[in-house]
Structure 1
């Protein structure tokens, strides 16, 4: 076993001719004064458990291993992750389809308020191209599904606009709106502005819409109430954007009351030159950052941002902006108890050759850890990140993407060809709820299935080191239900490797999948809430074809999974095909998903 002493500026190049191997390359950049590197060499048994234990002992000797229970002593909220599945909620609408009496709304489609809405959309929206729908509805005695989606999208869009309130249109407003107007529209926080605009719309739409207190609940608060009633006592709830919290603050408050963790997606990785409200994580109030704080390659070119847009922000210059953003969100919106920071734990770090702020990979990495630690310690958040790589293990509590990473950005059948059965779907959602990219169930090409999902090739090295330190699950693009014909296998994987399921929910997705979600979690939760406090102490293949595997956690938890299509007798126990045999502190359970 080789352990590299210097994790920076290394490259592994794999090859398979004549047999699988790799080359290790270390570079000495001119900007880095550290010109040494070396390895620790160990001889041990040729199995995953021995190798991982050796590495874990090495981390512990350096004082860099921290258990979840140690982290929870500083922030008890971390314990809410034990036995918690991970749910992304897409309740981005202030007003939902079920909140509208459509025949009555249609009668008002020619009224001044809708003329005003159309003007605002024409002037301010990035997608005003479907305004003709209002004219269509005016000539009909019905409103079809597509038209409802368009009208709702535009009505929800104007809820964020300061220009919505006009005294000559909203003649008689309720007390709550009146109190907000007395503050002055320009002095309202975003959360207050959303609230004002909901109330003034209600004042003119009357019984064409439900009471404001019911707006948007079907895709959020109603679901978490059902989850709690169904016995889901622990959950991590993620919002794709903190703006959702401004629109639906009651959802965040209710989730916390139920004992759930709730937080937003955030990122400080990319920066755009011009602000884009649809990509607000890459927008910063300091206008100098784009030119003065971005990463430069050795050849003088700027490193491009995600998907080729904008640039990469130098983390050593980001902390004032991190503090500004976090303070603004928490002062002007609901109080979250968790936060997800994209990219920072993936290992995508840079040497920055900008003359004014030369930065080594090591300095880049330390700055990423510093900003995650600030959010965790100063703001009291349960912090997670993408990837969850080794270096972040003492800072973060959970990670998305190690168990199932992003699969093939560059396969056109998956990413561009919309007629392909493998097309994963787009970011856009017709009803502004879960985008098909996350909800649409698709098969995987056989070659990718072998690499990413075939349990024969699974070796849980990370879990053998960090099971009781970092909770790891899937990348949000490849949630538990995403791969059409692998849902059951992935449920077994989640049990065997102590991995939280990850789901994307709105009203439609919850109603479609709630039975399989709740049934799976009843079994999974009982294991995870205990196993996550233990080290993974053993892992073994129990059949020649490696389709029967066993994992142990501490001294009293053992899971044997039969991924094969045939019943197998293991250790004098008949284990059904596609099933798990669970021994949890003396209790024995045979579990077959979706049965």
Structure 2
């Protein structure tokens, strides 16, 4: 369904884009000079330190007294046998002998410190704290406020009653909201911890912690902070904790190490689909019937039969149709997909088929087929095919350029100055290096999707990220459960890789891809920041979740150290110092488990498949679908959304949507999500090929002219404030530094103040008193 979108951009004094820019010299230098100590000083005001506590060792209940107000912040558990109780003015410690656990609760200057230490040599699980409050503030994706009786959230937690914090939480804390104050439970990290929900009557939670027998660190630390009942106070207190513990790094600091990061500021996010180097426009279809019996086409059939995942039957049927002058669009797509697929095969060269290779191909053949890099193989194969079907196609250097390089040049001409361009695979770039060179020359970031999550024993060429030259990895570098079973790979295929065991293979893959100096300048690592971390019980490489993450961070740093701008899926903050951008914080994957969305192809909610017969965007990424009403509160409703992650990491990590849910994906929510992108400083994300660019270029380019200067200004500062301006929570305001703010009106009624009017379904950017209105019509 084609959407006609219009962006109306009005300014109070003029239509000048400088309204979204900060003064160049003074403000930029001033913001860059903010020190850690200054941030700590600013954030101290959010934390209450004048409180006392009382703890009952038998039930592990904790009561807080603050300014004459009392609240049980941790609910009592079933009483346990207690020994070795010690009490001082500010500290209580004891042991649970049956559970083999030592507990220390100590009042520090600005928080209550709680440590749980396993005394067991075996795996041990202990549940604490048990919490019950009127409302919860949880770092699910960007952040959520959850009333304890809201029906959609109760239904969600009935279905998802055990959340792995390392996966479901973007940050290492959870907060209870009481009448007079909020209580944040902050952990060093979320590893080996789950949040278990109970939904009878109302929503309550209990944390469950798993102590691993072979983990040298058997202590879990909580820091419990008391703050005002305000998301800003909650988030800034957590930010202070991260800074104090050395877990915070700004984009400015990252940019000093890699100046390429500057290109990420103000960039729109694009996944670009170009799986064909040989496109429909590159074939002279009228001449194909008379050449359909050429040996090259029979050789392609043989290759597909031997190496193709789906064989050659469809290809041969299409070829027969062309011989009979009955080749239509389906046959064209089948034929093109087959030709493009075999160009990836290292077995493509056959001297009996290609008897007179051109000069470029001859040089590569003389070099030695077995010595060629992946990019050189693709170059050889293109030149071989071009020589064999030269009457059907233009010169090989022209192949695919109308659908790739020409689009990037047009983007730049349309005013898109900053863009991150992600390719679905490194092969797309190696097959079309001119496209990559052009994108880099236009000042864009461009690079491949890469993954080290799964390995298959015999991976097809279509799933090259699950394949490695080292054939020992499948048995010797994969994750084993406690019961001895291997952890299955993505979609249940193959196995999960242990990141601590494959670093040499990461280096080998990267150097192989880059050896011909293709100018990739960014890299996207699937799942590394999305959780899905494991304790590996393999006898020869036992690995804790902490060590698993350390292995991921090591490879992220490897790509950083090679001058690339690195991002990952998710954005969970155990990677916040290492990554520059993340896809999935703002809109995560929506309901993997719903068959209407994932399996029932007749459902209006079916999101689409990974297939793209036309070589362009798979339907999973371009099909516009609604989401069910009961999911809106969980994923998109602004009334339950909080910019917690941005209040902590606005100056540290650039976050956007998970690629399955780009800015156009959700039917009826394009305008709402555009407004929220400005409110939360979230880069718009688009799946593009030439067709999609033609459809959306006016909207994308007009929006980019406002987005780029806006985000450059917003990233230079903290998100300093967030306010709910109406009782229905549908008018909201964010503040960046002292002079930049956004007000979004998600309601159907205009919002008025003495000096401002925000029309219904409109966002207003206010910078140094100047206003820019962003209004989107679907």
Measured against the shorter chain, the TM-score band is over 0.9
Quote the offset at 1:216 in angstroms. 1.1
Q: How does 1:247-262 map to 2 (within 5 A)?
A: 247-262=431-446
For residues 341-365 of structure 1, give each alpha carbon's deviation from its aligned partner in whole angstroms, at most 9, with x where no partner exists: 1111112211111111111111111
The residue number in structure 2 matching 1:208 is 392
For residues 216-240 of structure 1, give each alpha carbon's deviation from its aligned partner in whole angstroms, at most 9, with x where no partner exists: 1232111111110011010111111
The residue number in structure 2 matching 1:357 is 541
State whether residues 374 and 513 of structure 2, in contact with CA within 8 Å, keep that contact through their aligned partners in structure 1. Answer: no
Which of these residues, 564, 578, 583, is aligned with residue 400 of structure 1?
Answer: 583
SS at match of 1:217: coil
RMSD: 1.6
Which of these residues, 357, 372, 376, is aligned with residue 560 of structure 2?
Answer: 376
Quote the offset at 1:309 in angstroms. 1.1
For residues 285-309 of structure 1, give each alpha carbon's deviation from its aligned partner in whole angstroms, at most 9, with x where no partner exists: 2222211221111222211111111
Quote the offset at 1:167 in angstroms. 4.2
Quote the offset at 1:420 in angstroms. 1.0
State whether residues 191 and 333 of structure 1, in contact with CA within 8 Å, keep that contact through their aligned partners in structure 2. Answer: no
Quote the offset at 1:395 in angstroms. 0.5
The residue number in structure 2 matching 1:476 is 659
CA distance in 1, matches of 2:340, 2:715: 41
CA distance in 2, matches of 1:568, 1:409: 37
The residue number in structure 2 matching 1:136 is 321
The structure whose residues are more often strand, as a share, is: 2
- Give the stretch that moved more between structures: 368-377 or 99-108: 99-108
Q: How does 1:142-181 map to 2 (within 5 A)?
A: 143-181=327-365
TM-score w.r.t. length of structure 2:
0.74
The residue number in structure 2 matching 1:557 is 740
The residue number in structure 2 matching 1:491 is 674
Number of aligned residue pairs: give it.
593
Higher alpha-carbon Rg:
2
CA distance in 2, matches of 1:541, 1:197: 59
For residues 191-245 of structure 1, give each alpha carbon's deviation from its aligned partner in whole angstroms, at most 9, with x where no partner exists: 2222222223222323421221221123211111111001101011111111111
SS at match of 2:763: strand
Structure 1 residues 320 and 509, CA, compared in 2 at 3 Å: closer, same or farther?
A: same
CA distance in 1, matches of 2:302, 2:457: 28
- Give the stretch that moved more between structures: 330-339 or 91-100: 330-339
SS at match of 2:677: helix
Structure 1 residues 285 and 164, CA, compared in 2 at 3 Å: closer, same or farther?
A: closer
Q: How does 1:29-44 map to 2 (within 5 A)?
A: 29-44=212-227
Structure 1 residues 524 and 16, CA, compared in 2 at 3 Å: closer, same or farther?
A: farther
The structure whose residues are more often helix, as a share, is: 1
Quote the offset at 1:173 in angstroms. 3.8
State whether residues 373 and 515 of structure 2, in contact with CA within 8 Å, keep that contact through their aligned partners in structure 1. Answer: no
Q: How does 1:245-284 map to 2 (within 5 A)?
A: 245-284=429-468
CA distance in 1, matches of 2:726, 2:673: 19
Runs of 4+ in 1 over 6 A off after TM superposition: none
TM-score w.r.t. length of structure 1:
0.96
SS at match of 2:332: helix
Which consecutive unaligned segments of at least 5 residues does structure 2 have? 1-183
Tell me, yes or no, if structure 1 residue 286 matches structure 2 residue 470: yes
The residue number in structure 2 matching 1:113 is 296
The residue number in structure 2 matching 1:413 is 596
Quote the offset at 1:327 in angstroms. 1.1
State whether residues 90 and 219 of structure 1, in contact with CA within 8 Å, keep that contact through their aligned partners in structure 2. Answer: no
Structure 1 residues 324 and 523, CA, compared in 2 at 3 Å: closer, same or farther?
A: same
State whether residues 730 and 746 of structure 2, in contact with CA within 8 Å, keep that contact through their aligned partners in structure 1. Answer: yes
Quote the offset at 1:6 in angstroms. 5.1
State whether residues 472 and 499 of structure 1, in contact with CA within 8 Å, keep that contact through their aligned partners in structure 2. Answer: yes
State whether residues 527 and 584 of structure 1, in contact with CA within 8 Å, keep that contact through their aligned partners in structure 2. Answer: no
State whether residues 246 and 333 of structure 1, in contact with CA within 8 Å, keep that contact through their aligned partners in structure 2. Answer: no
Which consecutive unaligned segments of at least 5 residues does structure 1 have? none
Tell me, yes or no, if structure 1 residue 523 matches structure 2 residue 713: no
The residue number in structure 2 matching 1:532 is 715
CA distance in 2, matches of 1:5, 1:250: 46
